[in-house]
A = this chain, B = another copy of it.
């Protein structure tokens, strides 16, 4: 296995983040590479979900992963065991990635030979939602233990996402979590949100989500 690379990404110098994000998307489109921005609060299961997703898709798609964290390389070390190209991004204390920081990661990762690049954003339901990273699609994970009221409290995250994974459904019996309510609240924020209840640990529900993602990648890379 390759030595894990840890990249210190610097806050962007671009005044207009949205224009920079559009530029990244245009470049990815030309290269036929799909960029997924995966967001969630701390401990919602981003890494486990990503590893399961890679297992389901790695025989059909060339995948690369950027793991963003303030510190440590624990997530990148885990993802690297799937065999896909993985780098760790350190944000120097920053609570999110912007387009310029994402581009630094993409350049280190190398996208030309990839069908799907995944950015696992910093664990945070607030700030990452405010910055377009250049991703083709944004996906959020909300886990059952976090509670069904989160779309009420963190509106922007649910507004900017294209799909929502509701993770850890294996522990539904142990938590007061109303699946109908969370779907209702999330659709209040964003009526077009595709919602997938999953358990990344057991694999339950993962096929539907992986099929959605594969379909999006195929449409973009066509």
Contacts and interface: CB of A to CB of B under 8 A. Distances in A.
Contact of A146 (B43, B124, B147, B153): B43
A95 B131 CA distance: 13
Contacts of A72: 149, 152-153
Interface residues of A, number: 34
Contact of A74 (B93, B153, B171): B153
A187 interface: no
Nearest to A167: B145
Contacts of A205: none
Contacts of A124: 95, 124-127
A125 B127 contact: no
A123 interface: yes
Given A41-B43, A71-B155, A171-B174, 19 more contacts: A42-B125, A42-B153, A43-B145, A43-B146, A43-B150, A70-B154, A70-B156, A71-B153, A71-B154, A74-B152, A93-B156, A95-B124, A123-B153, A124-B127, A126-B127, A143-B145, A145-B146, A171-B175, A174-B174
B168 A145 contact: yes
A39 to B, nearest CB: 12
Nearest to A127: B95
Nearest to A74: B149
A116 interface: no
Contacts of A147: 42-43
B155 A70 contact: yes
Contacts of A130: 93
